[in-house]
C-alpha cells in the first residue's frame, strides 16, 4: 500500500482504500437511501390515483426516472462527499438501505404506497426500475468523471 496514501487517509480519517467509505459517509448514504426510498414511496402514493403508473403513462414515468436518478446521484455524491472511486459503492449502500425499507413496507406496511393494493405492484415496479437507474447513473457518472480527468 502506498505510504503517502495511508498517511493522508489517517489525517483525513478516510480509509486507506480510496473506494471504501468512511463511517460518516456510510451514515450519510444510508440516510439518503432511506430518504430517497420514502420520496419514491410518496410519488407512488400520489401518482397511483393519477394513473401515473398505468400501461401507457408508465412509459413516461419510467423515462422520467432516468434524469431524476442522475440528478439524485449527483446530489448524493455532493452531500456524502463521495470521491469518484466511492460513487458506485456509496450509491450501492444507499440502495441497499432503500431496498431493505421497500421490502419491509411492501410486505407489512403496504398502506404507505396507497389504499389500492391492486395497483401497488405498478408503483413497486417503478421503484425497482428507479433502483436500477440510480445504480446505472452511478456507474456512468464514475466513468464520465474518469474520462474527464484524462
Tens-of-pLDDT digits for all 150 residues of the chain? 556 555 555 555 555 677 899 999 999 999 999 999 999 999 999 998 888 887 778 889 999 999 999 999 999 999 999 999 999 999 999 999 999 999 999 999 999 998 777 778 888 899 999 999 999 999 999 999 999 876
Residue 111: per-residue pLDDT: 92
State the SS3 of 19-31.
CCCCHHHHHHHHH
Residue 117: per-residue pLDDT: 77
Determine the longest span between alpha carbons in the chain, in angstroms.
Answer: 59
Name, in order, each residue with C-beta under 8 angstroms of 56's C-beta and a sequence gap of 6 or more.
none
The three cell numbers locating residue 57: 403513462
Residue 17: per-residue pLDDT: 77
- Say what the pTM is: 0.84
The three cell numbers locating residue 70: 442522475
Residue 115: per-residue pLDDT: 74
Residue 11: per-residue pLDDT: 53
Amino acid at each position: 500500500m502506498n505510504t503517502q496514501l495511508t498517511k493522508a487517509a489517517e489525517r483525513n480519517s478516510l480509509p486507506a482504500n480510496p473506494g471504501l467509505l468512511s463511517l460518516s459517509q456510510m451514515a450519510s448514504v444510508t440516510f439518503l437511501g432511506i430518504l430517497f426510498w420514502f420520496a419514491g414511496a410518496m410519488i407512488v402514493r400520489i401518482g397511483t390515483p393519477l394513473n401515473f403508473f398505468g400501461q401507457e403513462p408508465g412509459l413516461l414515468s419510467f423515462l422520467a426516472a432516468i434524469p431524476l436518478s442522475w440528478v439524485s446521484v449527483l446530489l448524493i455524491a455532493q452531500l456524502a462527499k463521495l470521491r469518484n472511486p466511492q460513487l458506485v459503492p456509496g450509491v450501492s449502500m444507499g440502495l441497499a438501505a432503500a431496498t431493505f425499507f421497500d421490502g419491509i413496507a411492501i410486505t407489512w406496511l403496504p398502506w404507505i404506497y396507497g389504499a389500492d393494493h391492486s395497483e401497488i405492484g405498478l408503483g413497486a415496479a417503478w421503484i425497482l426500475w428507479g433502483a436500477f437507474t440510480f445504480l446505472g447513473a452511478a456507474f456512468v457518472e464514475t466513468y464520465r468523471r474518469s474520462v474527464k480527468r484524462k
